[in-house]
């Protein structure tokens, strides 16, 4: 029993087989034409397939721009990119009080922001506690029952006035807290805008005596110039 080893033919070996069939003298013209077309197709496929396989096997190299963008994290995009950005400073201050001042690198303003907000919070707590005390005392006084301020012999109208007074202060304290929050965001926005101005050190006042140039809008005549003082304010 003979064993036949079958091997997969490569495009090059198949090309040689077809070429040999073309060169046989007994091959018909139709067979030679078909073999020629197949040989041409195998030749083109053998030239194109390796390049496509190589293109698929080789990994795509990332561009330098994409690599640099990947290295820039949240901190760089927020605090370094397009600095200073007034809108970003205001947004940070609205989200977290004092964050806009930190973004503008005005570190010393952060304690002022939290000091003002802390004062408003303390005022809210103080007036709320006293409002509740006089509110409960007023309810008990209307019912003719003893209350916290019975020893002071306060009349019912006096207790009501104290209650309304602390209630008004409590509401004003809430308004003050919101105002401080908005003001510190507006301050961060304005400060970031002012940081973009080019303030030159050459700010001086100079004067000289000589002919005063005529107005640019009027006609330029020889008699239009005159002697006088001219002050120049340089920015």
Say what the pLDDT of residue 29 is: 58
Bigger pLDDT: 14 vs 85: 85
Residue 150 pLDDT grade (very low, low, confident, very high; cuts 50, 70, 90): confident
| pTM across the whole model | 0.54
Is residue 1 predicted with pLDDT exceeding 70?
no
Is residue 114 predicted with pLDDT exceeding 90?
yes
- b/e string for 84-120 if b means 16 or more Cβ within 10 A? bbbebbbbbbbeebbbbbbbbebeebbeebeebbeeb
Residue 85 pLDDT grade (very low, low, confident, very high; cuts 50, 70, 90): confident
Is residue 135 predicted with pLDDT exceeding 90?
yes
Across residues 146-171, what is the average pLDDT? 92
Q: Measured over all CA atoms, what is the biggest interatomic distance in the chain, rounded to whole angstroms?
A: 137
Question: 212 has which bridge partners?
Answer: 226
Across residues 156-179, what is the average pLDDT? 96
Across residues 131-142, what is the average pLDDT? 94
Say what the pLDDT of residue 10 is: 54
Is residue 190 predicted with pLDDT exceeding 90?
yes
d(CA 29, CA 32): 5
Nearest to 96, CA basis, from 108, 86, 88: 88
d(CA 199, CA 187): 19
Bigger pLDDT: 169 vs 41: 169
- What share of the chain in percent tops pLDDT 70? 49
Backbone φ and ψ for 157, nearest 5 degrees, come out as -65, -35
Say what the pLDDT of residue 129 is: 96
d(CA 13, CA 15): 5
Bigger pLDDT: 213 vs 179: 179
The encoded tokens of residue 37 equal 């077309």
Is residue 116 predicted with pLDDT exceeding 80?
yes
Across residues 177-188, what is the average pLDDT? 96
For the chain, the domains span 11-50, 83-194
* 19: CB partners within 8 A, 6+ apart: 35, 39
Nearest to 103, CA basis, from 218, 188, 201, 200: 188
């Amino acid at each position: 029993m003979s064993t036949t080893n079958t091997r997969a033919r490569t495009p090059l070996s198949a090309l040689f087989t077809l070429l040999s069939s073309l060169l046989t003298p007994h091959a018909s013209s139709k067979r030679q034409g078909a073999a020629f077309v197949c040989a041409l197709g195998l030749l083109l496929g053998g030239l194109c397939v390796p390049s496509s396989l190589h293109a698929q096997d080789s990994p795509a190299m990332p561009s330098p721009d994409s690599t640099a963008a990947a290295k820039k994290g949240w901190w760089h995009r927020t605090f370094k990119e397009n600095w200073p950005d007034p809108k970003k400073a205001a947004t940070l201050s609205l989200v977290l009080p004092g964050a806009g001042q930190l973004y503008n690198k005005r570190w010393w303003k952060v304690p002022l922001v939290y000091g003002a907000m802390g004062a408003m919070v303390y005022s809210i707590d103080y007036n709320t506690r006293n409002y509740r005390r006089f509110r409960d005392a007023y309810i008990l006084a209307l019912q003719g029952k003893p209350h916290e301020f019975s020893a002071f012999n306060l009349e019912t109208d006096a207790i009501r006035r104290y209650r309304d007074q602390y209630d008004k202060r409590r509401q004003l304290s809430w308004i003050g807290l919101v105002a401080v929050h908005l003001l510190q965001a507006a301050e961060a926005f304005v400060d970031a805008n002012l940081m973009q101005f080019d303030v030159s050190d050459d700010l001086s006042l100079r004067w000289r005596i000589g002919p005063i140039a005529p107005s640019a809008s009027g006609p330029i005549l020889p008699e239009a110039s005159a002697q006088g003082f001219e002050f120049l304010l340089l920015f």
